[in-house]
Amino acid sequence: MLPDIPGTEICKAIKQDKQYSAIPVILMSGIRITETGRNQGFTAGAIDFLSRPFSNTELMASIRRAFSLSRELEDQSASDREMATFKDLSQQKAPATAALFDAAPLKIQFPESYQNILKEYNKLIEDALNERFYKVDHQLNDRIVHLSDTLGFLKADAKDIIGIHRHTIASQIGKTNPKAAKIILEESRYILINLMGNLLNFYCQKSY
């Protein structure tokens, strides 16, 4: 009932502007909303459409849904950015490592070993999640050291590690929701950093 432009058009304008598109919008109407009008609101990008008179309980429930959806979208966006970074890193050339080893990627040189490493890395992340939620000890540190030694003997480089990490994470977060994906990314970062550190120690010891 705005005098110059419908609320659905304002909502649509917000959602089409990159600067403001992430803002959740709840539409409110002073008249009874038809099913067509409600659909127009959702098509414009609104999270909810309330018709007066409405109770404070209805309004608060709608606001909670808006915040919940907003957090999910933020988590999804953060996950997408992190996965894009891993993709870029895994595709970059590493001239220093190539000069040391002059080797093809691990998955090409040792395909069977590579698949076994993927399975172990996937299991490490699953067990890290179990430790987080169920407080059980899966001896992650010892297993990470063993995996880093295996990678060291195979002369794996940083690109190999990032590729393994990206492949494993993509398969796990691809079948879950943004909130769970955020937790998986948090736990997997620890494993990735720990693995890279142990692999660096392995190469340092072998250089003496």
- Decide which of 31 and 109 is more confident: 109
Output 97 or 180, whichever has higher pLDDT.
180
Q: Which pLDDT score is estimated for 99?
A: 47
Portion of the chain with pLDDT greater than 90, in percent: 21
Q: What local confidence, expressed as pLDDT, does residue 52 receive?
A: 83
d(CA 37, CA 177): 30
Tell which wins on pLDDT, 13 or 78.
13
Residue 104 confidence (pLDDT): 78
- For 90-143, what is each residue's pLDDT tens digit? 565 555 444 444 567 888 999 999 999 999 999 999 999 999 888 889 999 999
CATH topology of domain 75-206: 1.10.1240
Global pTM reads 0.59
Q: How confident is the model at residue 40 (pLDDT cuts 50, 70, 90)?
A: confident
CA–CA separation, 48 and 25 (whole Å): 7
The residue among 106, 102, 192 whose CA lies nearest residue 153 is: 106
Domain definitions of the chain by residue range: 7-54, 75-206
Alpha helices for the chain (secondary structure H): 7-16, 35-44, 56-91, 95-101, 106-109, 111-134, 140-153, 158-173, 178-206
Q: In the CATH scheme, what is the homologous superfamily, with its name and number, of domain 7-54? A: Response regulator (3.40.50.2300)
Rounded Cα distance, 83 and 61, in Å? 33
Give 137-141's long-range contacts (Cβ < 8 A, gap of 24+).
Answer: 140/191, 141/194
CA 24 vs CA 44, 45, 63, 69, 115: distances in Å? 12, 8, 9, 8, 43
- Residue with the larger pLDDT of the pair 200 and 112: 112
Whether 7-54 shares its CATH topology with 75-206 is answered no
Please give the average per-residue pLDDT across 24-51, as a whole number: 85
DSSP, res 50: E
Confidence at residue 149, expressed as pLDDT on a 0 to 100 scale: 92
